Amino acid sequence: MFSLWAALILFIAFSIGQGLFTPLAKIPGPWYTQFTSLWIKYQEFTANRRVSVHLLHRRYGPVVRLGPNEISFSSLDAIKEIYASGGSGYDKTEFYSLFKQFKIKTMFSTLLKDEVIWVLVAKQKTHTNFS
């Protein structure tokens, strides 16, 4: 029984240490996201993730921590850098075209860096903010 309690205490200490002393600890977000990703998993399970993340961005800004190892970016420059192979200088392979949604390209399935800008512009024109 003692070893079970010792393992539990070590797990809790590790979780707290991971949340407080990682470089991601400085990224804004709800305090509990430093220690667990259960909150964002619950939001995903209940189909509220998109709205919840949007509300976090409205409250905390363009960079938000969603879990101990998960961050969300909402700026256009970050989206281009992440989804358009911007940092590597290479275009994506045909593998990414498998991720089209209903035969429509998304930011993730767009192959060429220049195409991502047009996908983002089209999305901005067709979608409105949650305000």
Cβ-based neighbours of 27, under 8 Å, separated by 6 or more: 63, 64, 65, 71
pTM: 0.58
Q: What is the pLDDT of residue 61?
A: 92
* C-alpha pair distances (Å), 14 with each of 1, 3, 36, 39, 50: 20, 16, 12, 19, 30
> Percent of the chain at pLDDT above 90?
19
Question: How many domains is the chain partitioned into structurally?
Answer: 2
Instruction: Provide the residue type at 80 as one letter.
Output: K
Does 97 share its domain with 61?
no
Assign 86 to helix, strand or coil: coil
Q: What is the pLDDT of residue 131?
A: 44
State the average pLDDT for the chain: 76
Mean pLDDT score, 1-22: 76
Give me the domain span that covers residue 25.
Answer: 1-74
Structure confidence by residue, pLDDT tens digits, 80-130? 777 665 556 666 666 677 667 677 766 666 666 665 555 555 555 555 444
Does 22 share its domain with 79?
no
Does 90 share its domain with 120?
yes
Does 120 share its domain with 56?
no
Is a pLDDT exceeding 90 seen at residue 59? yes
Does 130 share its domain with 69?
no
Assign 121 to helix, strand or coil: helix
Instruction: Provide the residue type at 104 as one letter.
Output: I
Does 7 share its domain with 48?
yes
Of the CA atoms within 13 Å of residue 45, those in its CB half-sphere come to 6
